[in-house]
Amino acid sequence: MCPHVPACPDAEAPDREAARTLACHPEQGWSLLCNGVVLFEDTGELLPSGASIEPHRPVGV
């Protein structure tokens, strides 16, 4: 479990991307968050359960 106070959001929480970064590999395009989520630079995510979240970049500017 997360040792931070306050605890990082759970991997299933809507704000899961707010968890602290444990490992960052910008050369490979991904980071591992404290809640076990792998966050990709294209905003896609891989959850600890194996589920994937499609990239969710803002549309148009």
For range 11-24, the mean pLDDT: 94
CB-based burial of residue 44 (10 Å sphere; 0-12 exposed, 13-18 middle, 19+ buried)? middle
Give the residue extent of every domain in the chain: 1-49
pLDDT tens, position by position, 25-41: 999 999 999 999 999 99
CA separation for the pair 54, 8 (Å, rounded): 22
* Nearest partner of 54 among 16, 43, 38, 33, judged by Cα: 43
CA separation for the pair 61, 57 (Å, rounded): 11
Q: Which residue has the tokens 């968890």?
A: 19
For range 31-58, the mean pLDDT: 93
Q: What angle do CA 59, 60, 61 make, to 5 degrees?
A: 125
